[in-house]
Amino acid sequence: MQIFVIEFEQDDPKKCTAKRMIRKGFAIRVRTPKGILLNPISNKTLSYEDREIIQKRGLTVLDSSWNKSDEKFFKKYENSLSRRLPFLLAGNPINYAKPFKLSSLEAVAASLIIIGEKELGLKLLSLVKWGPTFYKLNENLLEAYYKKSEREILEVEEEFLAGYLGGP
């Protein structure tokens, strides 16, 4: 399962979670997206249905700074084969409890768990001290998304969001 990182060097390198994945041998640096690209503005949601393509061609994360990553930035990648992640809360100290705004490491770990590679996802989370916080915050959702199709994930997300946003 190959993880790729496109680095923009916009954040403090000491806090950069993508650099940590590279340093620890879990990811490699590339210049262009390979396999499936994690892009929060994609209109397709990552699911178990993406497992085969990720196994064969890999998963790429765009390691930019959230402060510099507006819709225009992510739109530049709209021609890549990309996926958004369903509702999850960040567990990292910078964006703690913010929905959808995950660090690179959280985004990759969540993707791996969703496609059934839970052990590897948990291993990645163990690289940062707030990794278990991310898992605990999202445990029920991650269990509900685990090995599910896109349609099933969207149903879970919709039901959850209705409660979260105080809907009917």
Extract the annotated binding site: 17, 62, 85, 104
9 or 168: CB nearest ligand SAM: 9
Is residue 103 close enough to count as binding ligand SAM by CB under 6 A? yes
Interaction of residue 133 with ligand SAM, rule CB under 6 A: no
Rounded-to-integer distance, Cα 89 and Cα 141, Å: 10
Closest CA to 86 of 50, 118, 46: 46
Please identify, among the stretches 24-32, 62-70, 128-136, 138-146, the one whose residues bind ligand SAM according to the rule CB under 6 A: 62-70
Closer residue to ligand SAM (CB): 121 or 168: 121
Distance CA 39, CA 43 (A): 9
User: Least separation, in Å, of the C-beta of 71 and ligand SAM?
Assistant: 12
The helix/strand/coil state of 95 is coil
Total binding residues toward ligand SAM, as defined by CB under 6 A? 22
Reduce the DSSP state of residue 159 to 3 states and report it.
helix
The 3-class secondary structure across 121-134, one letter per residue, is HHHHHCCCCCHHHH
- Tell me how far apart the alpha carbons of residues 21 and 28 are, in angstroms, rounded to a whole number: 8
Q: Which residues are annotated as a binding site for S-adenosyl-L-methionine?
A: 17, 62, 85, 104
Binding of ligand SAM by 11 (CB under 6 A): yes
Q: Rounded distance, CA 151 to CA 120, Å? A: 24
Q: Is 47 in the site for ligand SAM (CB under 6 A)?
A: no
Min dist. Cβ of residue 96 to ligand SAM (A): 13
Among 22, 36, 64, 130, binds ligand SAM (CB under 6 A): 64
Residue 102 as a binder of ligand SAM (CB under 6 A): the answer is yes
Binding ligand SAM by CB under 6 A: which of 1, 2, 40, 150? Answer: 40
**Residue 6: which H helix or E strand, with range?**
strand 3-7
